[in-house]
Amino acid sequence: MGPLKLSSSQSFSVFRVIALLGLAALCSNNARAQEPPEHRWTANGAVGFTPLVGAINQRLDNGWHVSFGAGYNFSRRFSVAGQFMYNGLGVSRGVLQEFAVPDGNANVWSLTAEPRLNFRPHGKFTPYFIGGVGYYRRSVQFTQPALTQEVVFDPFFGFFPVTVQVNQVLGTFVRDGIGGSAGLGFDMPVHGESGPKFFTEVRYHYSDAGGIPLRMIPVTLGIRF
């Protein structure tokens, strides 16, 4: 994996996310003194659907994602979290035919810093803006079915060899780089204002890693503590 390189357009996108982070921090300064949070530390876990958009949608298939993270509440309006996200994707039939391989899979994972700004922290329905900037890694793997022998154990027969089918890896292509995201969501308390909250959000993610930029709009459902 070589050094990360930013194009001018990518750098501009990243700087915009950083600027939003600074703006959110400024907006929270007054609220920080007047509205202390119910608890300082926060954690979350979520799952969802990952649609791809742009040129990448012609190469890879839509998929699913899981994410989890932890952060710090500076006030009831403003928090920052570190977030890990994994997206499981497919490879389009056209790409499989182009490379003359029977099957394939793809994934995208990211590690980002994410500011979040709540618009109505005292309501039961709390909308928020969320952004992020960090590292994205995209991997595409081509495979074919193959047979291999494994040794298994049975209490009656003991150890004996069996033939099982596995996916043989023919090749792996990796692209990585800096990316960012921005979107909207809302929180709903599970029980009581200070307890866990269900949340749902939609975000646009972009990373100019490789010849075809990554563009996706994950729809997420999760719980925040």
pLDDT at 13: 56
Query: Where do the structural domains in the chain lie, given as residue ranges?
Result: 8-28+39-137+176-224
Asked if residue 174 lies in contact with residue 181, where contact means CB atoms within 8 angstroms, the answer is no
* Predicted confidence (pLDDT) at residue 21 exceeds the cutoff of 70: no
Return the CATH number of 8-28+39-137+176-224, one of 3.30.9.10, 2.40.160.20, 3.40.47.10, 3.40.980.10: 2.40.160.20
Overall average pLDDT of the 43-52 stretch: 98
- The neighbour count for residue 87, using CB atoms within 10 Å, is 25
Put simply, whether the predicted model's pTM sits higher than 0.85 gets the answer no
* Predicted confidence (pLDDT) at residue 11 exceeds the cutoff of 50: no
Asked if residue 54 lies in contact with residue 42, where contact means CB atoms within 8 angstroms, the answer is no
Q: What tens digit of pLDDT does each residue of 141-183 get? A: 999 887 777 777 778 767 878 877 777 888 899 999 999 999 9
